[in-house]
């Protein structure tokens, strides 16, 4: 697999998003662990999770714990695997999503994630979603403090706009390494953030790069174009979509969600798919 950089860490060009293995409609644990192991076998070394990836209010951190078990039971070397988690988003258990960006909460959330992941320092910790009730500078200041204390090795932000990216970079003293925003052929509104990350040399991690759990099969209305290019290459439209992401910029590291081994194996192959100028022109995005 091709490699890309997040801060001073080299990762595979395709990552794994853990959310589908822990929210509504999730598979049994055995299949999820096989999915994570398949990702590792395929050369994926970035696994993205969050403490909010769960269903019931009594199972906060379900996905973090699942990933920790998968890594512990993997037969190969996992020393190069970067686990990225997030704090600041919550699920009360009624299907809704809420936010809490207070510095005290983020510090508590980080400590809990450390325990669930079973590590001394989290590889990449990301502020999950801005809290309109908390000054953004205060929330990012909590990440700075966690960095300085050695609780996290790298800091990132998610669901941020260009102003917040620049503000976080300043508060973190130039140590912002990643931005995780929604981005896909059907959701292009984060293009300014992607371009800013490219300019600053910060990794851009598109979430829902295939259009989301319910739309990945159709690629959000662009299916015909992706299917045509895929047919020429003899691959899946989803693989074409991830290759399109990689072509956008060398700072892009897509994190497609998966809950089946065959799905993440197919996604991993995208790093080796070379799209031609004609392919990109036909996709038209």
The total number of residues written for the chain in this structure: 285
Of 96, 26, 64, give the one whose Cα is nearest residue 258: 26
Alpha-carbon span 240 to 254, nearest angstrom: 12
Angle at 135 between CA 112 and CA 150, to 5 degrees: 40
User: Which helix or strand (DSSP H or E) is residue 47 part of?
Assistant: strand 46-48
How do strand 9-12 and strand 89-90 relate by DSSP bridges?
A: unpaired
User: Which helix or strand (DSSP H or E) is residue 203 part of?
Assistant: strand 203-204
* Alpha-carbon distance values, 29 to 21, 85, 132, 277 (Å): 8, 19, 35, 42
Of 62, 47, 53, give the one whose Cα is nearest residue 123: 47
Which residue in the list 53, 105, 125, 127 is annotated as catalytic?
A: 53
Asked if 249 contacts 198 with a C-beta cutoff of 8 angstroms, the reply is yes
In the block, residue with structure tokens 């009594």: 58
Q: Is 53 a catalytic residue?
A: yes
* Alpha-carbon distance values, 191 to 10, 155, 181 (Å): 24, 21, 10
Of 188, 61, 171, give the one whose Cα is nearest residue 112: 61
Q: Would you please indicate which residues are annotated as catalytic (active-site) residues?
A: 53
């Amino acid at each position: 697999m091709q490699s890309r950089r997040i801060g001073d860490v080299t990762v595979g060009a395709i990552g794994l998003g853990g959310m589908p293995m822990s929210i509504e409609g999730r598979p049994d644990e055995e299949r999820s662990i096989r999915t994570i192991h398949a990702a590792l076998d395929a050369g994926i070394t970035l696994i993205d999770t969050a403490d909010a990836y769960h269903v019931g209010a009594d199972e906060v951190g379900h996905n973090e714990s699942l990933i920790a078990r998968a890594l512990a039971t993997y037969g190969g070397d996992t020393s190069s695997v970067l686990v990225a988690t997030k704090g600041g988003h919550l699920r009360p258990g009624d299907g809704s999503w809420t936010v809490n960006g207070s510095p005290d909460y983020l510090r508590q959330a980080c400590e809990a994630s450390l325990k669930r992941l079973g590590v001394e320092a989290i590889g990449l910790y990301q502020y999950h979603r801005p809290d309109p009730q908390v000054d953004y500078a205060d929330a990012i200041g909590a990440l700075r403090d966690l960095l300085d204390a050695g609780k996290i090795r790298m800091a990132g932000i998610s669901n941020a706009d260009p102003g917040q990216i620049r503000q976080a970079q300043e508060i973190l003293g130039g140590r912002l390494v990643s931005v995780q925003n929604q981005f896909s052929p059907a959701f292009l509104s984060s293009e300014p953030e992607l371009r800013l990350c490219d300019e600053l040399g910060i990794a851009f991690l598109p979430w829902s790069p295939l259009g989301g759990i319910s739309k990945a099969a159709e690629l959000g209305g662009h299916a015909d174009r992706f299917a045509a290019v895929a047919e020429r290459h003899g691959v899946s439209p989803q693989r074409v979509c991830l290759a399109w992401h990689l072509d956008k910029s060398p700072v892009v590291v897509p994190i497609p969600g998966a809950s089946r081994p065959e799905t993440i194996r197919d996604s991993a192959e995208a790093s080796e798919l070379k799209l031609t100028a004609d392919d990109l022109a036909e996709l038209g995005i």
